[in-house]
Amino acid sequence: MRVVTRALCIAGGLAVASSPFAAEGMWTLDNLPYTELEKNYNFKPTPEWIQKSMRSAVRLAGGCSGSFVSAEGLVLTNHHCVISCVEDLSSKEQDLINKGFLADTRSEEKQCPGMEINRLEKTEDVTARMQKALAGLNGKAFADAKKAEQSRIEKECVGDSGDKRRCDIVELYGGGQYHVYQYSRYQDVRLVFSPEYAAGFFGGDPDNFNFPRYNLDMSLVRVYEHGKPIANSNWFPINPKGAKENELVMTLGHPGTTQRLLTMAELETQRDLVLPFRLMFASEYRGLLLQYSREGEEQARIAQTELTMVENGLKARTGMFQALLSPSVMQQKRNDENAFRNWVNADTARKQQYGDPWQTISNTQTAWRNLYLDYVLIEMGMGSLSQQITWARTLVRGATERDKPDAERLREYSQAALPNVQAGLLAEVPLYPEFEQLKLSWSLSKLRERLGVDNPVVKAILGKESPEAIAKNIVSNSKLGDAAVRKQLWEGGFAAVKQSNDPALVLARKLDEQGRKLREQFDHQIEPVQKAAIEKLSKARFAFKGTSVYPDATFSLRLSHGVIRGWDERGTPVRPFTDFAGLFARATDFDPFKLADNWVENEKKLDKKTRFNQVSTNDIVGGNSGSPLINAKGELVGLIFDGNIQSLGGSYFYDESVNRAVSVHSAAISEALKEVYKAKNLTRELQLSK
């Protein structure tokens, strides 16, 4: 599955793609590849088509895509994009994850704690303004000026619309361009439909990122405002007929991060440090969660979402790592870089204009490598995995930052960002002490192991105590599990937080103190130098390659085009469609290949030839999960939920011969809602008929 992992997005690099292959590219809506669309598919998107598509697509702020599919605020996204909500709404008595959830009438719909949906309303290029504010600056001055100017732009954009509007600065081309994206912000989102885990994630981790596939990885949520469903005039009607083989299909979604034009120095940091560390970390964590899940049904339920996310990330990063270990991929990257460098160096004026950004980036990579483990374990929190510590750190840092003028705050606590921060902090969600203790004691032990017992920072954080003892104390004695306590502390601000002896806050203060030092090193010493070099590289590349380029993914709205098409797997053709018959043939008596009861019971009513999942050549990446797959008429013909295993190198390069996006076919969506789940009212609202 293709959910974006925000934690990955650090130190993302440049920039601009080389001349695209046929279906390559994640295009911003203000710079669509019109020539290609017309030439390859005879398709000319009108301004109205673009505008309608933009307003029909949505973003789940937590890291997914989705789209409106009715005039009454119904949003279609993936099962795996709402699984955290389903988990929060579940309890020991009511296991909605495994049993599924259906609200066929409005009154049964349940609010998802802390979920936020954004719809893009307009974008504006503010590159000139940002560049002017940053001209000639470096180090802390650069970082301060950048924060301040971003804050001003966002504030102006939000205006007096308060929490209803969200404005984000999007750095395209790695900082070569700055745009401000204005969204409508919806914070009352209610769960409408989520299938059983066995249907939404049939085949589990073994089948994940594979095809042929048989997943009903869909869900429906509804956007509310003032206690009522919103009325929206832009939405994609579902067309159960789907698209034909080789027909043009497009995704409108929010790909999270690509790293297609990292320099060799950056790629080597990924290959030699970042990916090995994360793979080993996640592998061990996975083993821990697997064994915890074996301890009982309730433990299995509690750990299910976390385990799925960990396994998904592990598989995705394994694919990325394989790509970087491939001699041919690295050689191609090296050749591309050399050609580009030679072009710059071949001309004195160019040399003078662009300098040697590759060398600069190589230097910042050395600094970043030295900082990396401390940074991710302490500042990014991988060494203190715990819901209570996450809240505590938000309270501690939030208190300090909110006391500053908006322009001086860390970006994640800017006025524009606060509503989302607050919603996350104050959402009422269940807390499982045993599970929290497991995560915290283990991750603190990783902190100690990776940085070393005798490391002064580790000593400052752990003292002479053991990870176990610290975790036990926090889980037993912290009061932060109570949302009212968090609210009191959040509203009490700096004084309240400082006074509290809550053990989670005590640890959070230590982590915050050490984390801030690391953050400053990154923000003042590494990022400004890196950004300046990337800006030069980006300009040079425009000059070298021309204007028909797309920026790396930034979790902002993109269109990708492609066609429904299978591929050739080492000599064996893989057909682009699967059907319901294939699902029943693949089923066994054992998880993760066991059918959900609803499917067993209704098997006879189903048309077994119904198309289930399909592949297309669209260029997508994590974050695209839940993206609508539409045809030229703007009808929804599929629901993106994954890529094939070959697409995992897509972080670094796109290979049209084997890279495939995987979606739920619109026919399966329709047939399942009607025949398996008997969702009469929803079927009517979605205008689905035989």
Residues in the chain: 690
Question: Residue 276, interface with a copy of itself (CB under 8 A)?
Answer: yes
If one asks whether residue 590 binds a copy of itself (CB under 8 A), the answer comes out as yes
Question: Which among 47-55, 73-81, 281-289, 414-422 is the span making contact with a copy of itself, rule CB under 8 A?
Answer: 281-289
Q: Does 296 bind a copy of itself (CB under 8 A)?
A: no
For 16-83, strand residue ranges (E) read: 57-60, 64-68, 74-77
Decide: is 588 part of the binding site for a copy of itself (CB under 8 A). yes
Centre a 10 Å sphere on the Cβ of residue 678 and count the other Cβ atoms it contains: 14
The answer to whether 348 contacts a copy of itself (rule: CB under 8 A) is no
Residues 6+ away with beta carbon under 8 Å from 482: none
H or E element in which residue 611 lies: strand 611-616
Tokens 């598509």 belong to residue: 53
Residue closer to a copy of itself by CB (options 163, 297) is 297
Query: Residue 607 and residue 23: Cα distance in Å, rounded?
Result: 33
Q: Could you tell me if 563 and 249 are in contact, meaning their C-beta atoms sit under 8 angstroms apart?
A: yes
Shortest distance, position 364 Cβ to a copy of itself, whole Å: 17
Residue with Cβ nearer a copy of itself (438 or 563): 438
Question: 7, 325, 495, 600: which one contacts a copy of itself (CB under 8 A)?
Answer: 325
- Interface pattern 622-661 for a copy of itself (x via CB under 8 A): ----------------------------------------
- Other C-beta atoms closer than 10 Å to the C-beta of 280 total 12
d(CA 641, CA 625): 5
DSSP letters along 199-218, please?
HHTTTHHHHTT-SS------
Q: Are 619 and 650 in contact (CB under 8 A)?
A: yes
Whether the CA torsion 640, 634, 680, 73 is positive or negative: it is positive
CA 132 to chain centroid: 31
Q: Which of 318, 362, 390, 415 binds a copy of itself (CB under 8 A)?
A: 318
Which stretch, 60-68, 110-118, 278-286, 495-503, contacts a copy of itself (CB under 8 A)? 278-286
Applying CB under 8 A, does 448 fall inside the site for a copy of itself? Answer: yes
Task: Return all residues near 373 (Cβ < 8 A) that are at least 6 apart.
Answer: 277, 450, 451
- 280 forms part of the interface with a copy of itself (CB under 8 A): yes
Q: Which stretch binds a copy of itself (CB under 8 A): 189-197, 201-209, 636-644, 666-674?
A: 201-209
- Per CB under 8 A, does 378 bind a copy of itself? no
Both structure tokens of 116: 């936020």
The answer to the question of residue 334 lying near a copy of itself (CB under 8 A) is no
Which is nearest to 471 in space by CA: 435, 497, 500?
435
CA 406 – CA 413 distance, rounded (Å): 8
Residue selected from 400, 466, 473, 602 as contacting a copy of itself according to rule CB under 8 A: 466
Which of 38, 403, 465, 597 forms a contact with a copy of itself (CB under 8 A)?
465
Which residue's entry shows tokens 């290949």? Answer: 593
What does the block give as tokens for 320?
């990325």
Q: In whole angstroms, how close is the CB of 209 to a copy of itself at the nearest point?
A: 12
39 close to 569: Cβ distance less than 8 angstroms? no
| Window contacting a copy of itself (CB under 8 A); options: 102-110, 184-192, 318-326, 354-362 | 318-326
Binding region for a copy of itself (CB under 8 A) out of 34-42, 100-108, 358-366, 585-593: 585-593
| Residue numbers 593-612 binding a copy of itself by CB under 8 A | 593
Residue 673 CA to residue 651 CA, distance in Å, equals 34
Per CB under 8 A, 453 contacts a copy of itself: yes
83: left (phi over 0), alpha (psi -120 to 50) or beta: alpha
Site size for a copy of itself (CB under 8 A) = 44
Quick note: the x/- pattern for a copy of itself over 467-496, rule CB under 8 A, is -xx---------------------------
Q: Does the footprint of a copy of itself cover residue 272 (CB under 8 A)?
A: yes
User: Quick one: DSSP state of residue 294?
Assistant: T
- DSSP code per residue over 214-232: -----EEEEEEETTEEPP-
Nearest Cα neighbor of 612 from 207, 97, 218, 98 is 218
Amino acid residing at 176 = G
Q: Report strand pairing: 219-225 vs 74-77.
A: antiparallel
If the CB atoms of residues 142 and 321 are measured against a copy of itself, the closer one turns out to be: 321
Can you tell me which of 38, 108, 245, 295 binds a copy of itself, judged by CB under 8 A?
295
Of 48 and 589, the one with the shorter C-beta distance to a copy of itself is 589
Q: Which stretch binds a copy of itself (CB under 8 A): 96-104, 220-228, 273-281, 415-423?
A: 273-281
Sign of torsion over alpha carbons 524, 530, 536, 539:
negative
Least distance between a copy of itself and beta carbon 306 (Å): 13
Give kind and range of the element (H or E) at residue 179.
strand 177-186
* Contact flags string 401-440 toward a copy of itself, x per CB under 8 A: -------------------------------------x--
Backbone angles phi, psi at 73, to 5 degrees: 80, 10
Alpha helices in 605-673 (DSSP H): 666-671
Minimum separation from the CB atom of position 292 to a copy of itself (A): 5
CB of 294 to a copy of itself, least distance (A): 7
Shorter beta-carbon distance to a copy of itself: residue 542 or 593: 593
255-to-114, 258, 641 alpha-carbon distances in Å: 22, 8, 12
User: Which of 48, 93, 491, 589 touches a copy of itself (CB under 8 A)?
Assistant: 589
Query: Candidates 321-329, 334-342, 519-527, 675-683 — which segment interacts with a copy of itself by CB under 8 A?
Result: 321-329
Site for a copy of itself in 203-242 (CB under 8 A): 203, 205-207, 210
- The one among 71, 170, 290, 423 contacting a copy of itself by CB under 8 A: 290
Least distance (Å) between residue 676 CB and a copy of itself: 24
Sorted by sequence, the CB contacts under 8 Å of residue 383 that are 6+ apart come out as 376, 377, 443, 444, 446, 447, 450, 451
Residue type, 587: A
The yes or no reply on residue 284 touching a copy of itself (CB under 8 A) is yes
Q: Does 98 bind a copy of itself (CB under 8 A)?
A: no
Amino acid at 429: V
Q: Choose among 668, 676, 610, 659: nearest CA to 638.
A: 668
Q: Contact between 464 and a copy of itself (CB under 8 A)?
A: yes
CB of 465 to a copy of itself, least distance (A): 7
Least separation in angstroms between residue 98's CB and a copy of itself is 17
Between 382 and 669, whose beta carbon lies closer to a copy of itself? Answer: 382
Rama region for 626: left / alpha / beta (φ>0; ψ in -120 to 50; rest): left
Q: Which stretch binds a copy of itself (CB under 8 A): 224-232, 367-375, 460-468, 527-535?
A: 460-468
Neighbours of 401 (CB within 10 A): 20
Q: Point out which residues bind a copy of itself (CB under 8 A).
A: 203, 205-207, 210, 268, 271-272, 276, 279-281, 283-292, 294-295, 318, 321, 325, 327, 438, 442, 448-449, 452-453, 464-466, 468-469, 588-591, 593
